[in-house]
Amino acid sequence: MHISIIAVGKMQRGPEMDLMDQYLKRLPWKATITEIDIKKQAANAAERKAREAERILAAVPDGAALVTLDENGKALKSRAFAAKLDDWAATGISQVAFVIGGADGLDQSVLARADLKLAFGTLTWPHMMVRAMLAEQIYRAWSINAGHPYHRD
């Protein structure tokens, strides 16, 4: 499995990056991070989201399942999330791209392309913390599917 994390914004060195890196390094899967950083900001949120969407969709690998992190998405339990990744792998999908939008959220074009809209609860999380949380959940999903003792019910 190849995991792509596509995120709006540039992550700086710090505890969130260290935590994200720690979990991604534990994975036996290849994992890449693509940061979408638009230098010239748009005048309004709709235009910003549209610009980000173009870059996000261009970064999604061909044939990848697309998971958007969206506050209106499904709040899955870790085992259900692991099962979804396992189901995709069983049907021949070898790449999964996760998208974390910017401060204004994701453009409708990205949400419409999503194979899964995933929510990390109803709280609002800092974007950099979401990267670390996502990396941990991907590692947890791998551990569940591999029978590794990391996850406990």
- What digits encode the pLDDT tens for the residues 102-133? 888 999 999 999 999 999 988 888 888 999 99
The whole-number pLDDT of residue 125 equals: 87
Domain ranges of the chain: 2-146
- pLDDT of 39 > 80? The answer is no
The CA-based dihedral angle spanning residues 104, 105, 109, 112, taken in that order and rounded to the nearest 10 degrees: -160
- Distance CA(94)–CA(29), nearest Å, equals 10
pTM: 0.93
Confirm or reject CATH 3.40.1280.10 for domain 2-146, answering yes or no.
yes
The whole-number pLDDT of residue 107 equals: 96
Contact 141, 98 (CB under 8 A): no
Helix (H) or strand (E) holding 145: helix 127-146
